[in-house]
């Protein structure tokens, strides 16, 4: 299991380099809010680790999504991550197809991460269960679960351990890796290890419980020790 940490600035990223993956996003713009391309470039220049970049919680805008995905890839991100903030399998298919094409045509070794939300029912968006088979079919690399509304409610308040274990196993059968995020806490790590996703994504956990606070290096070290 790899630890993905989401700094909100270049300075925070300098304190996050112990993580397995540095995830560039802008929390003020949403769950998967996009940061600036020059921020991605700068973090990539010193991280010495894989860098992922969120491009946004997208409504159904295939053109905008594909251009954002291509921009993040050109800026140096190793993984390009989009959240599907709408419902409908046909529309999800359209969005995933163009994002994968935008990245893979020029950067075939870069990874595409498709995120759906554990709180999809209250958001009226596509469920992770419906998203993952489409993502696999269309050539994405990772299916992610995150919370879309950041109100301190954890993914575990919307999907239980059994649900997430099944999701992870089915993804492996489809050839997808699984990333799990969404206001996760240190006390969740024991059950996360039983679920055994490929990646655990955190911010609030390593900010002392408040995602709007600052990342603390000692908490990253604690999280790494606990998931190993």
Inter-residue contact 186 to 223 (CB < 8 Å) = yes
44 is catalytic: no
81 is catalytic: yes
The one catalytic residue in 44, 49, 81, 177 is 81
The one catalytic residue in 25, 49, 110, 177 is 25
Cα–Cα distance measured from residue 119 to residue 133, given in angstroms and rounded to the nearest whole number? 19
Instruction: Tell which phi-psi region holds residue 54, choosing left (phi > 0), alpha (psi between -120 and 50) or beta.
Output: beta
Cα–Cα distance measured from residue 27 to residue 58, given in angstroms and rounded to the nearest whole number? 14
* Three state DSSP letters for 6-55: CCCCHHHHHCCCCCCEEEECCHHHCCCCCCCHHHHHHHHHHHCCCEEEEE
Catalytic residue positions, numbered:
25, 81
């Amino acid at each position: 299991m790899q630890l993905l940490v989401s700094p909100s600035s270049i300075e925070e990223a300098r304190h996050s380099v112990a993580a397995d993956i540095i995830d560039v996003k802008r929390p003020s713009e949403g769950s998967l809010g996009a940061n600036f391309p020059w921020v991605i470039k700068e973090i990539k220049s010193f991280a010495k680790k894989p860098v992922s970049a969120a491009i946004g919680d997208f409504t159904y805008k295939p053109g905008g999504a594909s251009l954002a995905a291509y921009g993040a890839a050109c800026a140096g991100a190793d993984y390009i991550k989009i959240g599907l903030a709408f419902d409908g399998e046909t529309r999800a298919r359209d969005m995933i197809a163009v994002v994968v094409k935008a990245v893979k045509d020029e950067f075939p070794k870069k990874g595409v991460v498709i995120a759906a939300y554990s709180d999809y029912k209250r958001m009226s968006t596509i469920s992770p269960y419906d998203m993952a088979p489409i993502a696999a079919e269309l050539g994405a690399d990772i299916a992610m679960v995150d919370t879309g509304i950041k109100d301190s409610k954890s993914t575990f308040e919307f999907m239980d351990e059994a649900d997430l274990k099944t999701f992870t196993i089915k993804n492996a059968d489809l050839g997808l890796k699984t990333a799990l995020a969404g206001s996760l806490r240190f006390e969740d790590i024991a059950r996360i290890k039983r679920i055994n996703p490929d990646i655990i994504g955190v911010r609030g956990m390593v900010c002392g419980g408040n995602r709007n606070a600052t990342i603390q290096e000692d908490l990253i070290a604690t999280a790494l020790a606990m998931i190993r």
